[in-house]
């Protein structure tokens, strides 16, 4: 009898699943009920997501095609098959994105007095101001490169804005190459706001590309500019560091980071007016095929428009403001240690404030009774109050240990800088384990109380990143439970020292026990269902890809276990297949906030076990990362997680998308009854609305 893993038809493709997720994000921009500036923001988010998709996933497909690699995923599609479908879907997605920008979002914003002026729209006064701006702020940092035997085609930076300029005539040295490349330095803003006295309006913007188009001839005195075309190339951004060979990971990584800007080319974006001959020329220079070309009707980098909504003071065109609510057990300025001793404290971000985590660390840093602080850091940003507190604690003589993941993709440079600053003040900085990214979210404070040491722990599903705690949904738990504290201490010891993995009492840990325990919990539900008892699983995560786990869920469905999966992004499981997965439902909720929490519920014959985790159900999380999954032991808090973190998503009929067995998604609609949106309901329940 074939196991599910041996049947490729039971699995969906990862790359196509990622594009399907971006379709759901784009739907937020398509939805006319979404405030206009938020629609623009969602368009930018799609572009940002696609950039990373090409830098990592498509570059991987390119490498597999070049190497002639066999199909390795459970769906058994080879790289060439996947790429052909990805190219078609991605081109359709980008075309829809720009059509939406040009036909709905920009005209809608213009009607509200927020205009992006084209060159043909400019008044003489505006043109004059722009020319002066060009000579003052732009031209001094430009370096035009005329192409000839002494000046070959430049190695343009990853995702940078560039212009191919067609020329006629000869320069001062008698050269006539016919083409030049102008690279726009990243120090230049891509969107410039015109002064009110010049534009006559509060929010008139002009693209840097328009300014360069208008004035590019100033760079080529005495020559005729036939035309100029903006273009952008995306490169492979995976870093390669052989961790087993290097003696100093931080130094090796710092040396590797610049190569990210010059990896192999995977995508070329050009303006839709780019001439065929220039397009062919650029494709040949980058050794790309026509399938890698994306013609766009507008700026080639929409990500740089992300700053516009924040810079426009129009609350009526944004989501309603809110203030994160405090957790009820904690009063302002309260002793965090006393509050945690009273009972476990659960935080639900962004609806509840992240401030208690900052207060906890602040109090630990200045409390004379605290002898040690240990923390894992995956993503925290280039600026972080938490890291500054740790630096202050180490400077004041506290024993500070930070397990800092240097290989957190796209945060490597920030983490390297924090590592250096922490080491300078005497903190112990550990870079994790060779071959395993440290993705667990743990903060432990050891405090001397009444002649004994007590551990206080904060565990989380999300990063210690104050900015993303306002944008991502996550859970955090404060506890003084001695056994959980001992488990967390053991995990830190594994990360900082040497020795075999110890048996943990409560935590499930990757790469040792998490996968086995998830399978065991699923098997337990199967046994209960087969014994005539209720079998029930609800799991919320960002991605579901690991084949053995998917196979176990199929077996559970066959046994009669009712399964609801809330998977924000990629799901390789096919729900609703008769005889295989008819008892499995998959939905994805996409809304104002990025759904980021991982919550696992197992009925367990009425015990109703609830776990929170840093890990998705993916191969990398189970086998190539250090992750923790922790139980919520307090019955009241377990019930709260079900009531806030699971049930509202199952009942959502506004922002939830149901997935069918072919991987297609359909948006639920209220039809009859009251509209219910999980994120709106949680804002109403937990957050504060400012007085209007």
Mean pLDDT of 33-39: 97
Mean pLDDT of 248-272: 70
Kind of pairing between the strands at 598-602 and 536-541: antiparallel
DSSP 442-455: EEEEEEEETTEEEE
Strand runs labelled E in 102-253: 114-117, 145-146, 161-168, 179-184, 191-193, 203-207, 224-235
Q: For residue 690, name the pLDDT band (cuts at 50, 70, 90).
A: low
Please indicate whether residue 644 or residue 264 has the higher confidence score (pLDDT): 644
**If we measure between CA atoms, which residue out of 200, 190, 41 comes closest to residue 113?**
200
- Cα–Cα distance, 631 to 484 (Å, whole number): 9
Examine the pLDDT at 486 and tell me if it is beyond 70: yes
Q: Pull the structure tokens for residue 367.
A: 């409390």
- Cα–Cα distance, 474 to 463 (Å, whole number): 9
Q: What is this structure's pTM? A: 0.93
**If we measure between CA atoms, which residue out of 447, 285, 301 comes closest to residue 366?**
447
Say whether domain 509-686 belongs to CATH 3.30.870.10: yes
In the chain, where does the domain assigned CATH 3.30.1840.10 lie?
4-317
Decide: 438 and 403 in contact? Cβ < 8 Å: yes
Told to judge if 439 belongs to the known catalytic residues of this protein, a careful annotator would answer yes
In the chain, where does the domain assigned CATH 3.30.870.10 lie?
336-501, 509-686
Residues 336-501: name the CATH superfamily: Endonuclease Chain A (3.30.870.10)
Mean pLDDT of 368-386: 92
Q: Pull the structure tokens for residue 607.
A: 């015990």
**If we measure between CA atoms, which residue out of 663, 641, 607 comes closest to residue 539?**
641
Q: For residue 143, name the pLDDT band (cuts at 50, 70, 90).
A: confident
Mean pLDDT of 332-350: 91
Kind of pairing between the strands at 203-207 and 114-117: parallel
Flag the least confident range among 29-38, 41-50, 244-253, 464-473.
Answer: 244-253
Kind of pairing between the strands at 562-567 and 584-589: parallel
**If we measure between CA atoms, which residue out of 290, 296, 117 comes closest to residue 210?**
117
Q: Which of 348, 349, 439, 603 is catalytic?
A: 439
Examine the pLDDT at 211 and tell me if it is beyond 90: yes
Which CATH number among 3.30.420.40, 3.30.1840.10, 3.20.20.10, 1.10.3720.10 corresponds to the domain 4-317? Answer: 3.30.1840.10
Q: Degrees (nearest 5) of the Cα angle 673, 676, 682?
A: 150
pLDDT value for 382: 82
3-class DSSP assignment, residue 536: strand
């Amino acid at each position: 009898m074939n196991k599910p893993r041996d049947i490729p038809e039971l699995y969906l493709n990862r790359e196509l699943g990622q594009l399907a997720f971006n379709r759901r994000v784009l739907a937020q921009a398509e939805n006319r009920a979404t405030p206009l500036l938020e629609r623009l923001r969602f368009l930018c988010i799609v572009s940002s997501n696609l950039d990373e998709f090409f830098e990592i996933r498509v570059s991987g497909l390119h490498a597999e095609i070049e190497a002639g690699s066999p199909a390795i995923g459970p769906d058994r599609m080879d790289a060439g098959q996947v790429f052909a479908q990805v190219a078609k879907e991605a081109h359709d997605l980008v075309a829809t994105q720009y059509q939406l920008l040009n036909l709905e979002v920009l005209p809608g914003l213009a009607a509200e007095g927020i205009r992006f002026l084209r060159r043909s729209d400019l008044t003489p006064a505006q043109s004059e101001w722009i020319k002066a701006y060009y000579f003052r702020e732009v031209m001094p940092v430009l370096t035009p490169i005329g192409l000839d035997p002494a000046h070959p085609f430049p190695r343009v930076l990853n995702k940078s804005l560039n212009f191919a300029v067609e020329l006629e005539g000869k320069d001062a040295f008698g050269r006539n190459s016919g083409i030049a490349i102008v690279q726009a330095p990243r120090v230049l803003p891509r969107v410039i706001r015109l002064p009110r006295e010049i534009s006559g309006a509060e929010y008139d913007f002009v693209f840097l590309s328009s300014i360069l188009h208008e004035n590019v001839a100033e760079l080529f005195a005495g020559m005729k500019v036939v035309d100029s075309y903006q273009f952008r190339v995306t490169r492979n951004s995976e870093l390669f560091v052989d961790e087993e060979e290097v003696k100093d990971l931080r130094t090796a990584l710092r040396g590797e980071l610049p190569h990210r800007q010059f990896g192999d080319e995977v995508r070329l974006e050009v303006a839709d007016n780019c001439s065929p001959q220039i397009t062919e020329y650029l494709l040949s220079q980058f050794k790309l095929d026509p399938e890698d070309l994306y013609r766009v009707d507008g700026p080639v980098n929409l990500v740089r428009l992300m700053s516009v909504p924040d810079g426009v003071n129009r609350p009526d065109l944004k989501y309603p403001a809110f203030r994160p609510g405090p957790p009820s057990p904690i009063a302002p300025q309260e002793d965090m240690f006393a509050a945690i001793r009273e009972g476990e404290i659960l935080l639900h971000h962004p609806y509840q404030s992240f401030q208690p985590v900052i207060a906890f660390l602040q109090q630990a840093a200045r409390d004379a009774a605290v002898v040690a602080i240990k923390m894992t850091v995956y993503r925290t940003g280039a600026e972080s109050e938490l890291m500054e507190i740790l630096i202050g604690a180490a400077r004041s003589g506290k024993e500070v240990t930070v397990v800092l993941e240097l290989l957190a993709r796209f945060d490597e440079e920030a983490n390297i800088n924090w590592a250096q600053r922490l080491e300078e003040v005497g903190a112990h900085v550990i870079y994790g384990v060779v071959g395993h990214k440290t993705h667990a979210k743990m903060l432990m404070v050891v405090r001397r109380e009444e002649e004994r040491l007590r551990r206080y722990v904060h565990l989380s599903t999300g990063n210690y990143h104050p900015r993303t705690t306002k944008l991502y949904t996550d859970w955090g738990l404060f506890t003084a439970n001695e056994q959980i504290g001992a488990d967390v201490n053991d995990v830190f010891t594994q990360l900082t020292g040497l020795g075999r993995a110890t048996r943990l009492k409560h935590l499930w840990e990757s790469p040792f026990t998490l996968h086995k325990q998830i399978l065991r919990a699923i098997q337990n539900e199967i046994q209960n269902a087969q014994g005539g008892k209720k079998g029930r699983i609800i799991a919320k995560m960002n991605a579901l890809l690991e084949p053995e786990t998917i196979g176990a869920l199929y077996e559970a469905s066959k046994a009669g276990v009712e399964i609801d999966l809330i998977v924000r992004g990629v799901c390789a499981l096919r729900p609703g297949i008769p005889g295989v997965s008819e008892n499995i439902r998959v939905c994805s909720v996409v809304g104002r906030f990025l759904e980021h929490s991982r919550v696992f519920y197992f009925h367990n014959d009425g015990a109703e076990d609830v776990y929170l985790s840093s890990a998705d159900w993916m191969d990398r999380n189970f086998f190539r990362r250090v992750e923790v999954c922790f139980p919520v032991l307090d019955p009241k808090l377990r019930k709260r997680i079900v009531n806030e973190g699971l049930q509202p998503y199952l009942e959502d009929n506004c922002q939830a998308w149901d997935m069918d067995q072919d991987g297609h998604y359909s948006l639920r609609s209220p039809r009859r009854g009251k509209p219910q949106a999980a994120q709106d309901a949680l804002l109403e329940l937990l957050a504060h609305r400012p007085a209007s």
